[in-house]
Every structure is written in C-alpha cells, then in structure tokens.
Amino acid sequence: MSAELGPETLLRHRPGILFRDLAGEAVLLDPDAGLYFGLNEVGTRAWNLLGGGATLGAVHAALREEYDAPAEKIWEDLLALAGELLAHRLVERVP
C-alpha cells in the first residue's frame, strides 16, 4: 500500500469518522465498524493537516518544520501512518 503513496497523494477524512482530541493526542472512532484508532501527537498533527486538504508532501514539509527528526524518518513514519489509516478505512484517497 505504501508504495502507491507519494508526495502528491491527497487523502481525506472518511465521512462519519469521529475525532476526539485528548490533550494533543487523539482517538478516532469508526462507529459503524466499532473501530477505535489512537493517534500520538505527531499522528494527530498529520491527521489535522490531512483534514485541511494537504497532500502527503505538504504534511511531510510541515512535520519537518515542527519536529526534530531526520526527513527520511518522518517520511517513512508518515507513509506508515497513511497506510494504516487507509487500511482501516479512516481516510480515503481523493482521485
């Protein structure tokens, strides 16, 4: 899945997915599937950026500004997160 994702990939929150902020971290709930998904601080930031219409590349750029970690590591982690969000149907690709 992650091989298909690139800087121009646009993902959006799937309708009906609930988001609850927990002091910087967050929990997502798909009520229809009964699925809970936890996001740490960086994951929460990425989720919010995706919700604002940012491509994966733009999310990566923002996270590089905000977090002190190698760019490659941030990209790897972001791809892994995007893959999980897609696999659990919490986000969907924008054609």
Helix locations, the chain, DSSP H: 41-51, 56-66, 71-87
In the bound state with other proteins, the residue whose beta carbon lies nearer, of 11 and 26, is 26
Q: Which of 6, 7, 22, 53 binds other proteins (CB under 8 A)?
A: 22
According to the binding rule CB under 8 A, does residue 23 interact with other proteins? Answer: yes
User: Among all chains, which residue has been given the structure tokens 């491509």?
Assistant: 55
Q: Which is nearer to other proteins, 3 or 23 (CB)?
A: 23
Query: Is residue 88 part of the contact set for other proteins (CB under 8 A)?
Result: no
Sign of CA dihedral 55, 56, 61, 63: positive
The three-class DSSP label of residue 83 is: helix
- Which residue ranges make up the site for other proteins (CB under 8 A)? 18, 20-23, 25-27, 29, 31-32, 34, 36, 38-40
